[in-house]
Amino acid sequence: MRGISRLLIIIVSSIFFLYQGCKSEDEKEQQLPAHGMSDMAGDVAYTIPDEWKVEKPSNAMRKAQFRIPGVEDFGDAEMAVFVFPGGGGAVQANINRWIGQFKQPDGSESMEKVEVKKIESGEFPVTIVYVTGTYQSGSMGGPVSELTDHAMIAAIVETSTDPWFFKTTGPATTINHWRQSFEKFAGTMRHK
């Protein structure tokens, strides 16, 4: 009986290793960590900086999630990637919603402080949005935390199907440190 069990283990192990060796190149490429490489999900590929760390998405709405290291004594920033099948709303509507998550310490309107830049990346129109202030975290229906001296830099990538959203929030000092890297990252968007 022990001989049959041992034979079954050898057969199952052999099948497993054969299966691993026969996987297509696409399957192997998708198993590579996204850190410093292209994310091959969907119809958009992009390249993240080596310093950004891949994280498990904190909820099912996120296609991907990255931790961006803090600078000086300021905390990390987080980039969440979203793709909503069937749309996700117009570019300006999303910009307005994101800006609405910020309050200004001087009482002015965040819309007056926002910076918007449009670029082309790999045939995709990309809108980059930057704003600072007090970030109202969790303002999507859950409890709201007000985080002072925060910033957001985000990109909306318009594809022929659904837009991709890359929203990064964190301490303003950290976001400002990575702002140029983020804009360079937004320029790596391309067809898969």
Mean pLDDT of 7-16: 45
Rounded to an integer, the average pLDDT of 124-137 is: 96
Check pLDDT > 90 for residue 27: no
pLDDT, mean over the chain: 82
Q: Read off the pLDDT of residues 30-87 as tens digits, 9 standing for 90 and up.
A: 333 344 444 444 578 999 999 999 999 999 889 999 999 999 999 999 999 999 877 7
> Which three-class secondary structure string do you get for the chain?
CHHHHHHHHHHHHHHHHHHHHHCCHHHHHHHCCCCCCECCCCCEECECCCCCEEECCCCCCEEEEEEECCCCCCCCEEEEEEEECCECCCHHHHHHHHHCCEECCCCCCHHHCCEEEEEEECCEEEEEEEEEEEEEECCCCCCCEEEEEEEEEEEEECCCCCCEEEEEEEEHHHHHHHHHHHHHHHCCCEEC
Domains of the chain: 1-31 (no CATH), 32-191 (3.40.1000.10)
Indicate the pTM of the whole model: 0.77
